[in-house]
Amino acid sequence: MASENETTSKSGSTDNGEVAVVRKIALITGITGQDGSYLTEFLLEKGYEVHGLIRRSSNFNTQRINHIYIDPHNAHKARMKLHYADLSDASSLRRWLDIILPDEVYNLAAQSHVAVSFEIPDYTADVVATGALRLLEAVRSHIDATGRSHIRYYQAGSSEMFGSTPPPQSETTPFHPRSPYAASKCAAHWYTVNYREAYGLYACNGILFNHESPRRGENFVTRKITRAVGRIKIGLQSKLFLGNLQASRDWGFAGDYVEAMWMMLQQEKPDDYVVATEDSHTVEEFLEVAFGYVGLNWRDHVVIDKRYFRPTEVDNLKGDSNKARKVLGWKPKVGFEQLVKMMVDEDVELAKREKVLVDAGFMDAQQQP
């Protein structure tokens, strides 16, 4: 039986008179990423069946969702299912849509690192921009073939699209992207708007400002800092090499932001929404709070390395999320200091576990698991 808070699309009766619950089905690209893992937890809690598209890797890439994975051989218990596909492979997208028959599609997959997008611009555009187009087109042709016009699509847009346009940035603020990643996200944004207008697709752009968590990739600045704080505190590292400390970001908690994604797809009409805390801090302020929390002074450890400066920087992001707050009823629950402390706490514990392995000779202090 479904629990009370489970979201179901329809229900019927079985032969023996029990109510058979038909769950809503979500398809998530980028399920192995930070947001994919939180969104999966959120949707499972709501009673959804969740299907994730994962790409082939020579190493396991499912660390962030291992804790919710149930072996598909326990078919009656497993409500999260994983399938191989890639945003660069249009046929795989269409095939899984036809097999899974989702009610909601969340496109979270991306080459999501801004600095790396300057190194691999062609690949970034292929996955972030054309990948979104491939998925939209797969959804459109799937609807054409099956008549399943109730299907809803979420596109993971980014505050990076605003680039050099000064804050506060809202849905009406012009885009001025400052990287191949940001330009590609702008293309994906407009593809999504176009599919909504041209084909009547229920498609939403979430324009999300930076959101972080203990699951954040380790080469994004917040996690890079909190990992270093943990390792310095435990004695595994002494220096932290960073780039521009003066950039300001509107940092929220990823767990709060995935709820906004879902809320967008529950409205009567599709639309685009900015999601932000409306509170902005510099990288230096992040350092102050993170190091200060464990009694360290960041100035004793941070070394500026020009390698981490970008050819074009985004200096100042601070969102105006009035529309999301009014229409969706969304608001963030975790504030800046709480977020930093949550990340530091987790990374101090992680460093302690690493230290055990280092002391036992199973790991080099330089090597990170």
* Interatomic CA distance for residues 27 and 25, integer angstroms: 7
Query: Is 99 or 304 the residue whose CB approaches ligand GDR more closely?
Result: 304
| DSSP-based three-state secondary structure for 244 | coil
Number of other CB atoms surrounding residue 284 within 10 Å: 16
Q: Which stretch binds ligand GDR (CB under 6 A): 94-102, 221-229, 295-303, 333-341?
A: 221-229
Cβ neighbour number for residue 168 with a 10 Å cutoff:
18
Establish whether 160 is a catalytic residue.
yes
Q: Which stretch binds ligand NDP (CB under 6 A): 29-37, 168-176, 304-312, 339-347?
A: 29-37
CB of 238 to ligand GDR, least distance (A): 16
Instruction: Work out whether 111 is an interface residue with ligand NDP (CB under 6 A).
Output: yes
**Which of 82, 93, 104, 112 contacts ligand NDP by CB under 6 A?**
112
Among 68, 220, 301, 342, binds ligand GDR (CB under 6 A): 220
Q: Which of 37, 112, 117, 158 is catalytic?
A: 158
Instruction: Work out whether 250 is an interface residue with ligand GDR (CB under 6 A).
Output: no
Task: Output the DSSP codes for 91-135.
Answer: HHHHHHHHHH--SEEEE------HHHHHHSHHHHIIIIIIHHHHH
> Of ligand GDR, ligand NDP, none, which one does residue 318 interact with (CB within 5 to 8 Å by kind)?
none
Query: For 298-352, what is the HEC assignment?
Result: HHHCEEECHHHCCCCCCCECCECCHHHHHHHCCCCCCCHHHHHHHHHHHHHHHHH
Pair of tokens at residue 282:
């510099």
Q: Which of residues 190-229 bind ligand NDP (CB under 6 A)?
A: 208, 210-211, 217
- 112 is a site residue for ligand GDR (CB under 6 A): yes
Considering only residues 138-197, where is the footprint of ligand NDP by CB under 6 A?
156, 158
Q: Does 29 bind ligand NDP (CB under 6 A)?
A: yes
Number of C-beta neighbours around residue 260 at 10 A: 24
What gap in Å lies between CA 350 and CA 63, rounded to an integer? Answer: 14
Nearer to ligand GDR, 87 or 97 (CB): 87
Q: Per 3-state DSSP, what percentage of the chain is helix, strand, and coil (rounded to 5)?
A: 45, 20, 40
With CB cut-offs between 5 and 8 Å by kind, which of ligand GDR, ligand NDP, none does residue 219 bind? ligand GDR
Residue 352 CA to residue 246 CA, distance in Å, equals: 31
Interface residues toward ligand GDR, by CB under 6 A: 112, 114-115, 158-160, 210, 219-222, 224, 242-244, 247, 249, 283, 308, 310, 313
Interface residues toward ligand NDP, by CB under 6 A: 29-30, 32-36, 55, 57, 61, 86-88, 108-112, 127, 156, 158, 208, 210-211, 217
